[in-house]
Each structure stands twice: as C-alpha cells, then as structure tokens.
Amino acid sequence: MRYFFHIVDKYGLCLDGTGYEHVDQEAAVVHARRIAAEIAKAGEFCRASFVLIVAAAPGPANRH
C-alpha cells in the first residue's frame, strides 16, 4: 500500500506528492519515525514539526 508522509509545522502543511510503498501500517510508522528523526536534527527551527501519515485509498480512482 502507498503511504504519504506530510510534514506539519508552525508554517503549515508540506504535502508529500510522491509517497512510498510499504507492506503495512507498522512499516509506514517506522518510516515516519525516521523522517521525524531527520527533521529533529534541524534543532529549534523544526522543533514543533510532526509527520502525518496518510494511506492512499485503494482502487484506480486513487486521488491524493
């Protein structure tokens, strides 16, 4: 299943237009934690950020 990893911070929402394929939700959570760890390396600048995981809707009419 394809998951999208949007970044939310004090400036708003940064949409992930590509997404990543993961076997299940747990694998997507692990990926989101890695993203959050990278964001945290920016220090104070990104302190209030978080990663929003959105699963793609199944089917050919998948719109994100």
Q: Is residue 62 part of a domain?
A: no
Total of domains in the chain: 1
Q: Is residue 33 part of a domain?
A: yes
Q: Is residue 41 part of a domain?
A: yes
Q: Is residue 7 part of a domain?
A: yes
Q: Is residue 64 part of a domain?
A: no
Q: Is residue 61 part of a domain?
A: no
Distances (CA, A) of 22 to 29, 38, 57: 10, 19, 14
Q: Is residue 8 part of a domain?
A: yes
Is it the case that residue 32 has pLDDT exceeding 90? yes
The pLDDT value given to residue 20:
95
Whole-structure pTM value: 0.78
Q: 19 lies in which domain range?
A: 2-55
pLDDT tens for 10-30 read 888 999 999 999 999 999 999
Q: Is residue 14 part of a domain?
A: yes
Rounded CA separation 17/8 (Å): 14
Chain centroid, CA 12 distance in Å: 14
